[in-house]
Amino acid sequence: MTEIAVSVAHRLEGRVAIVVGGGQTPGETIGNGRATAILLARAGATVMVADRDESLAMETVEAIIAEGGRADAARLEVTDDEQHRALVARVVAEHGRLDILHNNVGVSIAGGDADALELDPDTFDHLWQVNLKGMWLAARHAIPVMREQGSGSVVNISSMAAKLAYPLVGYKTTKVAMLGLTENLALTNAANGIRVNAILPGLMNTPMAIEARVSQGTPRDEVVAKRDRRVPLGRKMGSGWDVAHAALFLHSDEARFITGIALPVDGGQGLTG
């Protein structure tokens, strides 16, 4: 899908961001994390792109630098508390502050997710470690810096799977839990000037969503067409750029009186029940 041509210059000038999950699954389209990292940089932020595969994070960084933006990459295993601590410490040492934490982490099919009666217990534990614990660990180290500053913005990427029917139990339950984490962090940090919100993407034409299904043997055109038909708005899935623009809004001063929300970015899919 094509990118929306919207001027975003200077909306985040002087701010420092960490985008967790800012690489992406290889594929034909752009992922939510990469699109968000690029857009935050276009808006003036200095972006630390963190990903478990540092080479994929570097691809995002190279795209940002090619446009004249400021970015660096770091390897991050989201289940490792010490790596989160070190990442935040590095950002503060290099830039003196941390204004934005963007948590773009989630795995389902590629992580072995399954029906509740078929899912292996160890896989269930792993999905919760990656999808939920990783977000909590990132916030655990970023928020103290933001408290000291008296400001900050955190956005957690959940999913419309939290609200709608979704057959795989690991992804469904962790995405619901992310909303509870978001509300808890929003309320307990509001007095410190920190805003915490969630985005719920619907059906997106991103590598994570499409490639896992193609790898199971379904032709790409069939996967895309089936998902497109389920979207009321234009009968077409959204893209990583749609999630990125929602994230830019929530991280910007335009959303300065918004905290604790779960924002659907779903083309009206949530209206279908």
Residue pair 24/56 in contact (Cβ under 8 Å)? The answer is yes
Average confidence score pLDDT of the chain: 95
Residues linked to residue 4 through DSSP beta bridges, in sequence order: none
Task: Identify the pLDDT of residue 53.
Answer: 96
Prediction pTM value: 0.94
- Which pLDDT tens digit goes with each residue over 214-261? 988 999 999 999 999 999 999 999 999 999 999 999 999 999 999 999
Task: Identify the pLDDT of residue 248.
Answer: 98
Residues serving a catalytic function are 171
Say which residues have a Cβ less than 8 Å from residue 226's Cβ, sequence separation at least 6.
Answer: none
Domain ranges of the chain: 16-202+240-261
Distance CA 242, CA 125 (A): 31
Average pLDDT over residues 45-72: 98
- Which pLDDT tens digit goes with each residue over 164-206? 999 999 999 999 999 999 999 999 999 999 999 999 999 999 9
Span of 96-100, 198-202, 206-210 with lowest mean pLDDT: 206-210
Is the predicted pLDDT of residue 273 greater than 90, yes or no? no
Residue pair 143/188 in contact (Cβ under 8 Å)? The answer is no
CATH of the domain spanning 16-202+240-261, picked from 3.40.50.720, 3.40.50.11740, 3.40.50.10140, 1.10.1370.30: 3.40.50.720
* H or E element in which residue 88 lies: helix 81-95
Average pLDDT over residues 152-162: 98
* φ/ψ (deg, to 5) at 155: -125, 125
